[in-house]
Amino acid sequence: MSSKNLSETIEKILSDEREVRAATAPYQAEFPYERDEEAQVTRREFCGFLAVTSTALFLGAAGFAGKAAYDSTKIEAFPPLKIEGAKDLQIGSALNFRYPTEIDTAILIRAADGNFYAFGQKCTHLSCPVYYAKESDRLECPCHEAGFDVKTGNVLYGPPPRPLDRIAVEMRDDGEVWATGRIAGGHES
Amino acid sequence: MNGENNKFKSSRGITAIFQAKLVLMVMINLAQLWILSAAVEAALARHYKELLPLVIASGVCWLISLSIIFWWKPVRRR
């Protein structure tokens, strides 16, 4: 809206107000009504507003908790996906893949015990990509110096509030490794 | 004159009570705001065990605020 239009609108509103006041002036003497006084809020009214706010805050907390609890009961099913290159992965090394969609980056680790472990690559703090630190045998986030257990995805140190999202993997008869599901970290607790 | 003084004193008492109610309500609202933010943070962090105590705490605050509004009435001096 241009400044001219804005000033025209303001002028129209003000002129309407003036017209209403002029039209109602004869009745003001019989039914005194002061808008300024009406605009004031008494303590009692303000207490009422606060009670309504209190109700809204309680319903908000209950509703949010209920929604979260309901969401926690739903486990999404994702189609299995063969992880290319996992067959030849050496012990103590990792590779990146995408699961369940092309925008969900994940990391597959072959730990010192020879087993495969896979996690979503987004740090649960601020979504920086985590990497596998071979020398310490854990997943680390370089942004805020967080560490995750390589077998469970649990937070070892740092600011993340919950474990990494875990990706279920299985080794099939031909030696290939398949991702078969994704479970949000902390979902089990 | 004496009656006016008593009326003035009585009015002052009621005003003070409403002022106290107002302050209590504001404090309860602040506590509930904090509880709501804690519930949101717990839910996003998937700490579901923390949600029920937070909702109960918010409910208790709500009941207290209702009791302040509906049941805390000033008692007239004899």
Q: Is A153 left (phi over 0), alpha (psi -120 to 50) or beta?
A: left
| Chain B: residue whose CA lies nearest to A67 | B43
Q: Write out chain A residues lying below 8 Å of B55, CB-based.
A: 61-62, 65
In a domain, residue A188? The reply is: no
Whether residues A33 and A124 share a domain: the answer is no
pLDDT band at A157 (very low <50, low <70, confident <90, very high): very high
The pLDDT, as a whole number, for residue A189 is: 43
The model's pTM: 0.61
Count of the separate structural domains present in chain A: 2
Question: Which of A57, A122, A124 to probe by mutation at the B interface, max B CB count within 10 Å?
Answer: A57
Q: Say which residues have a Cβ less than 8 Å from residue A75's Cβ, sequence separation at least 6.
A: A183, A187
Q: Does B26 touch chain A (CB under 8 A)?
A: yes
Q: Do A43 and B59 touch (CB under 8 A)?
A: no
Whether residues A42 and A86 share a domain: the answer is no
Question: Which of A55, A58, A127 to probe by mutation at the B interface, max B CB count within 10 Å?
Answer: A58
Residues of chain B with pLDDT > 90, as a percent, come to: 44
Whether residues A55 and A90 share a domain: the answer is no
Out of A42, A73, A104, a domain closes at A73
Whether residues A66 and A12 share a domain: the answer is yes
Question: pLDDT of A96-120, one tens digit each?
Answer: 999 888 889 999 999 888 889 999 9
Whether residues A107 and A156 share a domain: the answer is yes
Mean pLDDT of A50-61: 94
In a domain, residue A166? The reply is: yes
Whether residues A90 and A174 share a domain: the answer is yes
pLDDT(A2) > 80: no
* CATH code, domain carrying A164: 2.102.10.10
* Chain A: closest CA distance from residue B78 (Å): 24
Q: Do B51 and A68 touch (CB under 8 A)?
A: yes
Q: Say which residues have a Cβ less than 8 Å from residue B25's Cβ, sequence separation at least 6.
A: A47, A50, A51, A54, B65, B68, B69
Question: Which of A54, A70, A188 to probe by mutation at the B interface, max B CB count within 10 Å?
Answer: A54
Domain of residue A13: give its range.
3-73
Q: Write out chain A residues lying below 8 Å of B71, CB-based.
A: none
The pLDDT, as a whole number, for residue A144 is: 92
The pLDDT, as a whole number, for residue B74 is: 67
Out of A73, A98, A113, a domain closes at A73
Q: Do B18 and A47 touch (CB under 8 A)?
A: yes
Whether residues A88 and A171 share a domain: the answer is yes
Cα gap A139→A148, rounded to integer Å: 5
Question: pLDDT of A62-97, one tens digit each?
Answer: 998 998 888 878 767 788 889 988 888 888 889 999
Question: pLDDT of B11-40, one tens digit each?
Answer: 667 778 888 888 999 999 999 999 999 999
Out of A36, A56, A73, a domain closes at A73
Length, in residues, of chain A: 189
In a domain, residue A45? The reply is: yes
Whether residues A20 and A111 share a domain: the answer is no
Out of B21, B35, B43, whose CB is closest to A68? B43
Whether residues A51 and A24 share a domain: the answer is yes
Whether residues A148 and A86 share a domain: the answer is yes
Q: Write out chain A residues lying below 8 Å of B18, CB-based.
A: 43-44, 47
